[in-house]
């Protein structure tokens, strides 16, 4: 993530968006601090809000719920 961090404040908004997407796709909570820092230097309030929202998303607890596979249905033999 440190290699992506400088691109969060790049002059080109498309580069900043791709950097944001990269950090979110990594899905690591540590990326939240980078996003909050970038929000403080964001060129627009709208972009700062988006960075904060994505930081909050990364900080959400990971779900530990596992989905169970349905049992196989075995056709009954005809008598």
pLDDT value for 63: 60
User: Is 11 part of a structural domain of the chain?
Assistant: yes
pLDDT band, very low/low/confident/very high, at 15 (cuts 50, 70, 90): very high
User: Is 20 part of a structural domain of the chain?
Assistant: yes
Retrieve residue 42's tokens.
């964001």
Domain count, the chain: 1
pLDDT value for 68: 44
User: Is 75 part of a structural domain of the chain?
Assistant: no
| Residue 26 phi, psi (nearest 5) | -65, -30
pLDDT in tens, 23-66: 999 988 899 999 999 999 999 999 999 999 999 999 888 763 34
pLDDT value for 20: 95
pLDDT value for 60: 86
Q: What residue numbers bound the domain in which 9 lies? A: 5-58
Distant-in-sequence, close-in-space partners of 16: CB < 8 Å, separation ≥ 6: 7, 8, 9, 10, 38, 47
Instruction: HSE, CB side, 13 Å, CA atoms: give it for residue 79.
Output: 0
pLDDT value for 22: 95
User: Is 34 part of a structural domain of the chain?
Assistant: yes
């Amino acid at each position: 993530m440190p290699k992506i961090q400088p691109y969060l404040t790049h002059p080109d908004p498309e580069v900043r968006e791709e950097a944001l997407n990269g950090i979110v796709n990594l899905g690591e909570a540590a990326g939240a601090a980078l996003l909050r820092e970038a929000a403080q230097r964001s060129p627009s309030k709208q972009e700062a809000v988006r960075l904060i929202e994505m930081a909050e998303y990364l900080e959400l607890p990971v779900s530990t719920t596992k989905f169970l596979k349905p049992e196989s249905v075995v056709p009954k033999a005809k008598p």
